[in-house]
Amino acid sequence: MGSPLSLEFTNSWFESSARSTWDQLIPQLKPKRILEIGSYEGASTCYLIDKLAPQEGQIEIHCIDTWEGGLENQQGGIAPADMSGVEKRFCSNTELALAAKAPAEVKLVRHKDFSYKALARLLDNGKEGFFDFVYIDGSHQAVDVITDAIMSYYLVRKDGILAFDDYNWSEFAGEKRDPLRCPKLAIDSFSNIFFRKVVALKVPLYQVYFRKIA
């Protein structure tokens, strides 16, 4: 897939699920400190660089990914991928997006690790309540999504936004659908347990957005 910047993406996940909501949300929120869990080839990261830089003062985008893929990206999964190629495209795409803007105005921090380890390090490094916008689009396994959700709650500031992709994602349909291998159970559990601390925003069903209120 091409773009005016010759960015190279092999899928349209970001275009089909997030872009229309972000076109409305991002100009209102104007986030300066962003955390993304699951970056793949950098489609969502490049969108943020393009829309947010340059702004008054530096913006900071932290990208967490193993670049090893989830279970669905392994051989035999529903979206098998050569993850070393994916990682190379993340690097070249974000370099191009940065070069087209004001590179000095964007601090892009890559955390190549499992999300629970990278998130724990961010908390340990004083980033509690630091982020304006957290986008959770990493592992689709319920155990990982609930871990990402709770740790991200502590990393986002009050009135900041926690966004989840793939609310209705599943590997298989019907009886083969395993609720522990889907994000939905984790997002619903987070929403129920944190109902005094976050408020759900009106959003399309495939994604879910919460504002932290306490």
Ligand X SMILES: C[S@@+](CC[C@H](N)C(=O)[O-])C[C@H]1O[C@@H](n2cnc3c(N)ncnc32)[C@H](O)[C@@H]1O
| Smallest distance, ligand X to C-beta of residue 192, A | 23
The 3-state secondary structure of 116-146, one letter per residue: HHHHHHHHHCCCCCCEEEEEECCCCCHHHHH
Nearer to ligand X, 147 or 194 (CB): 147
Nearer to ligand X, 13 or 194 (CB): 13
Nearer to ligand X, 21 or 199 (CB): 21
Nearer to ligand X, 66 or 106 (CB): 66
List residues near ligand X by CB under 6 A. 13-14, 38-41, 43-44, 64-70, 114-115, 137-139, 144
| Smallest distance, ligand X to C-beta of residue 1, A | 11
Structure tokens at 70: 């989830």
Sheet holding 106-112, edge to edge: 106-112, 59-65, 33-37, 131-136, 156-164, 208-212, 198-200
| Smallest distance, ligand X to C-beta of residue 176, A | 21
Bridge partner residues of 36 (DSSP): 63, 135
d(CA 76, CA 129): 39
| Smallest distance, ligand X to C-beta of residue 158, A | 25
